[in-house]
Amino acid sequence: MFGPVPCRLPGGIKTCILRPVACVFTSSSRMAKSKFEYVRNFETDDTCLKNCYIVVRLDGRNFHKFAEQHNFMKPNDDRALGLMTCSARSVMEDLDDIIISYGQSDEFSFVFKRTSNWFKRRASKLMTHVASQFSSSYVFYWRDYFRDQPLLYPPGFDGRVVLYPTNRNLRDYLSWRQADCHVNNLYNTVFWTLVQKGGLTTTQAEDRLKGTLAADKNEILFSEFDINYNKEPLVHRKGTTLIWEKLEETVTKSVKLPNEAGEEVLVTRTRRRVGAHHCDVIGNQFWEEHPNILEDDNC
């Protein structure tokens, strides 16, 4: 910015030269800024407690209706589950410090490592980044999974942040979500088998299942429909666990030293990629096979 500055030349001739006057505006805008800046103090501090695992759980908004309107298969739609996993993979690949995530139905939980300092551990930043990356991926990759089914309206996902201070707490959290997956999937499998194969109405199927235990549901499936629940697809019974895996990759590289002919050499490099598992995470086996996911409780 320049402003006219009058000055007198020899011989009494008046003229103007241009001098920078930006400083005038800067100081007034600085005053204005300081006058308004107090509003910043209205922001609440939502820094997550140190040393805790930070879990962000997303859940589809009103997916009961969304599934109906987009003709999801009952009880499980593999296109929908695939799209959820693809969106979660995009979250893990694009955001830092997520060590494991677990999903089933219309939900996904993302676990940030306990030493993470991403976005200074601010809960709202972490949650909104996860939710927006997930939602936009869900829409972006929709066509890859639902080829003939148009997306009729933009889906939404709610999010929450929960902190877990110990490895036991975190494992119990993941176990809780997987137990939820099992309970719902067993119920839904029997319910829709009674309707689709047994010819019951939804009300009749609901009445039939009232007060039944897991063993009763398994028995209905086995004795009436010849279905062994334990042989149903693992992705439906156990949900999806995403973790980072190391991949050894051998590639050919041309190397050329000065004044020498080029040479082809084999180079082995380690790449990280997100691997999907449909296994039990409640018992010890998974954690013994992947000892690097959890950090030491005593650090």
Ligand X SMILES: Nc1nc2c(ncn2[C@@H]2O[C@H](COP(=O)(O)OP(=O)(O)OP(=O)(O)O)[C@@H](O)[C@H]2O)c(=O)[nH]1
67 binds, among Mg ion, ligand X, none (CB under 5 to 8 A by kind): ligand X
State which of residues 76, 85, 109, 185 lies at the interface with ligand X (CB under 6 A).
Answer: 76
Say if residue 199 carries a ligand binding annotation: no
Residue with tokens 């009445």: 207
Is residue 74 a contact residue for ligand X (CB under 6 A)?
yes
Least distance (Å) between residue 132 CB and Mg ion? 17
Question: How would you label 54-93 residue by residue, b for 16+ Cβ within 10 Å and e otherwise?
Answer: bbbbbebeebeebbeebebeebbbebbbbbbbbbbbbbbe
Residues of span 99-118 touching Mg ion by CB under 5 A: 106-107
Residue with tokens 């180079």: 267
Q: Which is nearer to ligand X, 61 or 143 (CB)?
A: 61
Is residue 80 a contact residue for ligand X (CB under 6 A)?
yes
Q: Which is nearer to Mg ion, 66 or 119 (CB)?
A: 66
Residues of span 44-83 touching Mg ion by CB under 5 A: 59-60, 63
CA separation, residue 60 to residues 64, 138, 239 (Å): 9, 11, 16
80 binds, among Mg ion, ligand X, none (CB under 5 to 8 A by kind): ligand X
List the structure tokens of 86.
């693809």
Is residue 157 a contact residue for Mg ion (CB under 5 A)?
no
State which of residues 48, 56, 60, 133 lies at the interface with ligand X (CB under 6 A).
Answer: 60
Q: Which is nearer to ligand X, 104 or 241 (CB)?
A: 104
Q: Which is nearer to ligand X, 100 or 106 (CB)?
A: 106
Is residue 180 a contact residue for ligand X (CB under 6 A)?
no
Say if residue 61 carries a ligand binding annotation: yes
The long-range contacts involving 256-261, CB below 8 angstroms and separated by at least 24 positions, are none
Least distance (Å) between residue 63 CB and ligand X? 3
Say if residue 106 carries a ligand binding annotation: yes
Is residue 105 a contact residue for ligand X (CB under 6 A)?
yes
State which of residues 26, 27, 62, 136 lies at the interface with ligand X (CB under 6 A).
Answer: 62
Q: Which is nearer to ligand X, 189 or 218 (CB)?
A: 189
Query: Residue 127 carries which side chain, given as an amino acid letter?
Result: M
Say if residue 63 carries a ligand binding annotation: yes
Using CB under 5 A, count the residues that bind Mg ion.
5
Least distance (Å) between residue 94 CB and Mg ion? 23
For binding to ligand X (CB under 6 A), which residues are involved?
Answer: 59-64, 67, 72-74, 76-77, 80, 105-106
Binding residues for GTP: 59-64, 105-106
For binding to Mg ion (CB under 5 A), which residues are involved?
Answer: 59-60, 63, 106-107
